[in-house]
Structure formats: C-alpha cells, structure tokens
Structure 1
Amino acid sequence: MVEYDLVIVGAGPGGSIAAKIGAEKGLKTIFIERGRVSGEKNSSGCGLGPRMWRDFPELMKELTPETCPSLRTCEIYVLRWIDMNGRMRGMQGFTPSNSVSYDPARKWHTKNVYRSEFDPWLAKFATDAGAELKTSTLVTDLMKDDKGKVIGVKTDKGEEIRGKIVIGADGVLSVVARKSGLQVKWPKDQVTIVPQYDFSCDKAKVDKYIDNMADNLWFGANFPGAYQVFFDEGMHLGLGNWLASFTEGRKSPLAYLNMVLEVPEMKRILELVDAKPREIQSHLLPWTSEPCPTQTDNVMLVGDAAGFPCPLEAEGIYPAMITARLAAETAVEAISNGDTSKSALKRYEERWRKSSVGIEFEGGRSLQEIWRATIFNPETMKWFVPFYHEAMGAFADWSEPHIVRFKQIFEAIRNVYLPKLQPLMMKYVLPLLSDVLEEDISILPMLEGLMKQMRPKRKGG
C-alpha cells in the first residue's frame, strides 16, 4: 500500500493548486485525475478574472498566448436585451470601472482560455514542484479506519492509496464529499445544469468584428440568462438555470439554448465570425448561497466539491484556486502539528470565510434571490425587458420633442411598470442594498419613500 501525506482527488485548478503548495511545503503529495490529462473532463472554456493575477501573481504572469494559444482578453463586456419575439431591444458595453482599486482590473474584465489548455498548464506547476500526478484513475471510495475516520482513497483499479489528509477537488459530484458524509446530495435548487455549444471561428474575423468585446450576456424574455465567450479562434454559447426550474414543466435546457441561437442578432454575429459548431457539452455546477460543510476528520473540500462557485454567476475557477491554497496551507500546519482532526481542520473554514471567497458569500442569499427573481424568471422578464427598453431608450427617441417623450415614458413607467417594479425592489433589491451598505442603511427608508411617492394614485383615493 502506497502512503502519502496529502492525497488530492481531482487535477483541475483546485487540485493542481493544492498539489503545488503541498509539494512546495515538503509534503509527499499525489493528485489523482480521472481523465487521461488534466482538463479533459470539464467544460470547454472559462473566463479568468483579474483577482487571479492579484492573488497568484507569480503563477499568472506565465499565462501567455504561447502557453495557452486560445487566450483572448475581454476589455468590454456587452449586455443584450431580447424581447419575447426574439428582437434585440437594447445593447450596452462596459469597460472596467474607474473605482476598481488595482491593476490589471482597471484594464480588462477577463482573460478567456480553453480549459483543455489551462488545466494541464496549471497541473505542470504542481508536478514541477514535486507532486505526483496519477491520470486515467477514478477514485471510487474512501478508506476508513475502525473508528470511521478517513485514511485514504480507493480507485477503480483496486488500488488503495493512504493519506494523512484527503482533499476533495473532484467537482459537483464529489466522491470525497459524498463518502465522507460532508455533502451526500445537492438539492435541485442548489445545482445548475449548463448546456453549451462550442464553435470554431475565423480568427481574423473575430479580431475584426469582436476584438476585445469578448464576453457577451444575453438577457431574454423567453430564455434564462445566456453567455457567449470568445477565444482566440473559437467561441462558446451556454446558459444555465437551477435544476429545479427545469423540472416544473418548462422546456429542456437545450431547447432554451436553441432559442438563443434563433435570435436574429445572434445569427448575425455567428455569420460575421464564420462560426461553425464543433461540440455540444453539458455539465452540472453547484450554485448555492452557502457552501456545504467543508471539513471533517482528515478531509477537506475545495472548489465545486464544496459548493464554492460564486453565488451570483457561478464562476468557479478562482474560488477553487483560493480554497485549494487555504486547504493546502491548513494541511501543512495540521500534519506538522500531528493533529488532522476535524477541530484542527476548522482552521480551514476560518480562513476561507475571511478570504475573498468567503466575503462573496456574505451576500450570497440576497445576490441569488434577485437573480432568481429577474434574469432567471421568465414571468418577470416578460415585462422587465420592455420596461428596461422604455426607461433607457428615451434619449434616442426623436418621435416627439424630448420633453414630451420623457413625460410619456415617465407616465408609462409609473402606470404600467412601477406596480410590478415596486414589490420587486422591496423584496429583493433593498435586502441586497442592506448587505452592501451594512451599517450605513439610512438610504433605505429614503428609497422606500420615493417608491411610495411615485406609485400611481388610485381613483377616488
């Protein structure tokens, strides 16, 4: 039987970071990947935010078009609003905000890259540090002692690999989470299914027509929020919603995605870049307002295995890498102290809760509630898309004198949309503002008062 200090299940971004740090700190480390290479068993691509360059500077400075040829930088992200007839009613583009506090966040939104390039690139840092990578191996169970404490893993090849600490970096369907009892099954309202099409594109045409507008969000009255991400010579289009929403008599996820493909503006873009479909993919992600329990005796969970994707848009690469680093650092301390118990590993939870990832979840519930009530609620979007168009389109309306149109639009908003908008604001937006403003909530009564003043007066009232 082979014995290690640290056994990591999964060689995605979380597993590779945990393996790299464990090996660098002198732990005998192995990370185990079910695919033939890292990155083989996941979604097609990802957007990497500037926080990764801030928090992993020595690592991320090595990410270049030479190391990952699919790399494309997004400096402008674009929102498109689509009505029930598939007509685009509005489009906006945003560069990074002036209020962000560091470079490179002032310069760009994301660096987009295919996972088939990024994951093996990242795994090599771990193997270079001395970690052992075992591929084409599926972990099927955990080894336990007479007291039921985890002491290693079992594989589909009949192997038993003993470890002082096991880190589960094995995704939403984590064997480590399930077999350790930390998370037996995700409820349907805490997991999303994400279908997506991957396209090849003409690089010269992407450079000409898309360039740095590489992240596109599609908010529709007939489909859940969809995303379109451009890479150097490719693009993928996907959407998602909580699994529970697809079991309530609505269309299938793929049917909704096909509706996005039928939007005339989408067809125009695909034609401009000579996009040709080359793969259909579908995967599950945890999408919850609070991670599951993250540690027990000799075990810690990181990334998707613990439900760490962002509660707003379910981005998971950065949370996986941050939690993996914290878990590995905790493992080093625990093994050094000779105490890998649940109480000793509680230090891991204390660390992630204080990290950028933990802070994200402080407003997790209010962030998700407003998302569920708007972009991912078809009944809301049926009126919200025309409301948004009505509110934002006045400045380009030359049908009447501007002051006349402003009055007409204000009356339409007040009489048609405000009765629907006000309860939405009260129930979902004000709680979010309360989380954002924390103690400084004096603005909330003022906003509520303004909303009441704008409400249409009842006849005879």
Structure 2
Amino acid sequence: MDRLTQQQRTAVLATASAVGASVIAYTLYKSLSRSSSSSRPRKAAKGYSPKPLPPGCFDAVIVGAGPSGGTAAYYLAKVGAQVALLDKEHFPRDKYCGDAVCTPAIKILEEMGVLDELRQNNECHFADCGGFVSPSGLSYIGTSQHKLGEAAACAVKRTHLDERISRCAARTGADFKEGFEVTSTTFDKQAGLWKVTSAKGEEVSGRVLVIADGATSRLATKLGYCTEPAKGICSRAFIEGGTHNADFDGVCFYQRESLPGYSAIFRHANDELNFCYYLIPCGKDDMCGNVKESDLKRLHENALKSDPFISKAVGPNAKVERMRAAALRLGGQGLKTTYDDHLLIIGDAAGHIDPLTGEGIHTAMMGGKAAAETILDMRADGDFSKAAAKCYEQRWMKYYGHDFYLSKKGAELIWRYPILLDACANEMQRKGDAMMAMWAEIMTNIRPKTYFLRPDVACQLGFAVVREFWNQKIMRRPDQYTPPAAPAA
C-alpha cells in the first residue's frame, strides 16, 4: 500500500466507500420495504354512532378548490355523497406554481375525464424531451417517453387545471360555491356537525370538515393544527411563445449556490414557457441550504440573465413576465396531525409536497382521493371519530408519504455533496435515455425513492460517484458552470 501514489490511494478508498455504501443501501432498502408493506389502511373502529345527517347538511365540507379539494369533491360526489366545495376566489383564477403534473396525477385526471378536456382545449403539453444540468455544468437532455411507455409529466397552467377539476366535481354532483371566503368554523360535538361561515354571512354545515386551503392554510393555523409558517418558496414567470430559443420540454438546473433548490423551464402548449425557481428548506433553521427565502428574487433574475444554460435557452428577445412567488410547505412541515374527529387536512395545507423536488400537484390529487375514500368508509360505518379518520393517514403514507423521509435525506445529501448530481448526469451521458427514464420515474413518483437503494441501482450510482470524484478531484476537469454572481453589497 505504501508504494501506491496519493491518487491511487484516493481511488481505492473511494471504491471501498462505494461498495460499503451499497451494502448499507441494501440493508436500508430491505428495512424500508418491510415497513412500507406493513402499512395498510385499517378498518375503522366500531362503536361511534352519530345522529343521521340533517336535511340541508353535507357529508363533507371542503374548504379550498385546488387540485386536492377538487379531487376529493369529485370522488365523493361520484358515489352520491353530499359535498360542498368552497373557495374564496371566482374561477378561473391563477396560482403561482411550476405547473408540472406528474404521472400519478395524469392517471387521476384520466379517471375524471379532465385530461380529455385539457387535450381538446390545447391546455396541456406532455413532456418527452427533457433532462437536467448538474452543479458542475454536466447536462443530459434526452427522450424518455419511448422508454417509459408514457410521459412522466405534462405541463398545465393552474388557471386551467384547477378550474377543470372543480367544474368536473360540480358536474358530478358537488355543490361548488365560489367567492365563499371562510371566516369562522365551529363544531357542534353533540350533533357531530361543523358549521362554516363566510365573510358574507353564508353558512354551510357538514359532517366532516376537509381543510384544503393551501400552503399558508389560515384555517389549519386558526384551528391549531398548523403550528408554523411555510418554510419553502417558489417563483414563476411565463415566457411568451415564439420569443425564446428553448428546444426542449422540461429541464431542471441545479445551481450550486441554491442547492438543494433548483430552477426549471417547462414548456406549455402554444410554445409558452414557465420559468420557475424552487428554494427548499435544508440545513439550519430558516435556511434553504446556503440561501434564504429573501434571496429568491435575486436568484431568479440572475439565472435568467447570467446562467449560461438558461440565458441561452431563453435568448435575448424573450418576453418574460414579472416574477411572482408562492409559499411551499414540504414534507408535512409544521403540521401536528392531518386528521382528527370529523376533520381531514389535505394537499398543500397538509404539507404534502415532495421535500426533494418541490412537486405537489400529484400528491395533492392522490391525497384528495385518499381523503374521499376515508370519508366514504367513515360514512358507511357511521364512525367519524379520530380513530376512524386515522385510515386517511395510513392511505397517504402508503401512496406517497413513505417517500418523504428519503426525500428529505436526499435534499440534505445533494446540498452537502453536489458531486452526487454530477455523477448522475455523467451516468446519463454514458447510459443515455435508459438512465434518464429511471431518473424521471423516481422524481415523478412512478417509482419510490427506495429504488435508489436497490443493490443494482446503488452499486451503479456508487461507481458513478467514484468516476466523478476521479474526474473532478484527480483529473481536475474544468467546471462548465459560470460561478454565480456575488450578492450586491
């Protein structure tokens, strides 16, 4: 060993580390597989018998008509449940978002018949040509749809998506009340009913209150279920079709300065682009890696002007709208619980946004469907207790919540070790669309994050890290990314 050069010692140690990491990954993978398979929805406990639903009351009152609330309302109304869907806005209304609709949500939209409406009205664009740019500037843009057999995501403006879902719920039988700004809620324990009152004095009563009023969730905060403000944030700016140079459907850009956050460009119908920037909570309190939420505007604007990859795709003549921003509540952050007697919390209000990707439309819709299934079970059993409502948590944990832990750990890893993303990009350059398709499956919830821990995948990525370490640290390959501009004094 003494005869080995320092470079050779480093390579040997790195290889040993990769093998060791693979063994650990396999053990963790088997452990998580066992724990997730044992989490199954349980039948609600008997012995809780509320009075019959009074005339004019609803089985469920849903506050918030976004993707989660609208989906829950649809699946409830579909089987004849009485449901009120309330929203303070009049539709169509805008929502600042990255607009990426992942495969699980696409399948629910198909079930609802909404996807056909979006297609017929040219309001969605399915992604095929896409990829990402790593922190050191390694990039891969390929086509994954022919490998997956379906598009991993499509882009739909929230103006269109939310209205289509809520109108579909209304056609199915939900009582959709627009302009209903909730100012107070009271629960009559003896009657087992919630009374919800609007700013105009309108009143709606129902057996179950479903909170779906977004990441800032005034209602969940007022009732004491949400204990702190949302800690993530994202930006959005549309770029007019025909004024840019982008020739892809969707690309994520992992700038080193803002890891584990990233920026992205998604192509909409009519060649319009959505440029967005996500800052993801990580590290110290009130920090998103090495930056703060207050840095968002600077990062967003600098990326458009100075990032060599983004500025090239946008071009010098692009018509870019003013940046808008929205809060993100990721991985259940700040929630004491998502269920209680006669109550469920869903979507962004429940913090059901992936802590690694910042994506929340598909989790919102899956959670909305899980909430509807739970309410229908409680309705059939005549049991609306907290014990019965627990089945909702078991469902969303099975559908996507089990991924949140590894997503949080993944965010911490790429913040501390950006070389992991460089290694993935390098592996895509070596393996082509097959590797791109695997990445797309994991990042869009087609496969769980535990897929990264499978021995065959973990070993492959472990050796990719060794190769990238050699290229960066030993061979001193130049960084292809222009260093970010220093903050203004």
TM-score (norm 2): 0.69
Alignment of 1:155-234 (within 5 A): 155-186=198-229, 191-202=231-242, 210=246, 213-223=248-258, 224-233=261-270, 234=272
- In structure 2, the residue matched to 1:49 is 102
Counterpart amino acid of 1:194? C
How much does 1:268 deviate? 2.4
Note the 1:45-444 alignment, pairs <5 A. Answer: 45-58=98-111, 59=113, 61-67=115-121, 69-81=122-134, 89-96=137-144, 105-145=148-188, 151-186=194-229, 191-202=231-242, 210=246, 213-223=248-258, 224-233=261-270, 234-242=272-280, 244-245=286-287, 252-262=295-305, 263-271=307-315, 274-288=317-331, 292=335, 293-355=337-399, 357-359=400-402, 361=403, 364-374=404-414, 376=415, 381=418, 435-436=450-451
Counterpart Cα distance in 2 of 1:56 and 1:27: 20
Instruction: Kindly tell me the number of residue pairs found equivalent between the two proteins.
Output: 387
* Conserved 8 A contact 1:199-1:279: no
Structure 2 distance, partners of 1:438, 1:289, is: 23
Answer with 250-259 or 49-58: which moved more: 49-58
Kindly report the root-mean-square deviation, in angstroms, between the aligned alpha carbons of the 2 structures.
Answer: 3.8
Give the whole-Å Cα distance in 1 for the aligned partners of 2:264 and 2:128: 16
Secondary structure at the residue paired with 2:58?
strand
Aligned residue identity for 2:280: W
Shift of 1:8: 0.4
d(CA) in 1 for partners of 2:422, 2:289? 28
Q: State the shift of 1:281 in Å.
A: 1.1
* 1:152–1:164 Cα contact (<8 Å) kept: no
Identity %: 20
Describe the shift of the 1:228–1:437 C-alpha distance in structure 2 as closer, same or farther (beyond 3 A). closer
1:4 equivalent in structure 2: 58
* Kept in 2: contact 1:52–1:60 (CA 8 A): no
Counterpart for residue 24 of structure 2:
none
Aligned partner of residue 99 in structure 2, secondary structure: strand
* 1:181-224 per-position Cα deviation (integer Å, ceiling 9, x unaligned): 322324x6xx311122222121xx77xx645x211111223344
Deviations 1:43-101 (A, max 9, x none): 1551222233445533355144323x242221021212465xxxxx33211332887xx
SS, match of residue 43 in structure 1: coil
Question: SS of 1:35's equivalent?
Answer: coil
Amino acid at match of 1:195: S
CA distance in 2, matches of 1:176, 1:22: 22
Please give the TM-score of this superposition, normalised by the length of structure 1: 0.72
**Cα distance in 1 between the residues matched to 2:237 and 2:205:** 40
Distance (Å, rounded) in 2 between the aligned partners of 1:148 and 1:172: 31
Which one has the bigger strand percentage? 1
- In 2, Cα distance between equivalents of 1:138 and 1:285: 22
Give the deviation of 1:162 after TM superposition. 1.2
- Give, in whole Å, the separation in 1 of the partners of 2:424 and 2:79: 53
Find the aligned partners of 1:168 and 1:140 in 2 and give their Cα distance: 13
Partner residue of 1:31?
A: 85
Per the TM alignment, residue 166 of structure 1 is displaced from its structure 2 partner at its CA by: 0.9
Question: Gaps (5+ residues) in structure 1?
Answer: 84-88, 100-104, 396-432, 457-461
- With CA pairs under 8 Å and 6+ residues apart, which has the higher RCO, 1 or 2? 2
SS in 1 for 2:57: strand
3-state SS of 2:254 partner: strand
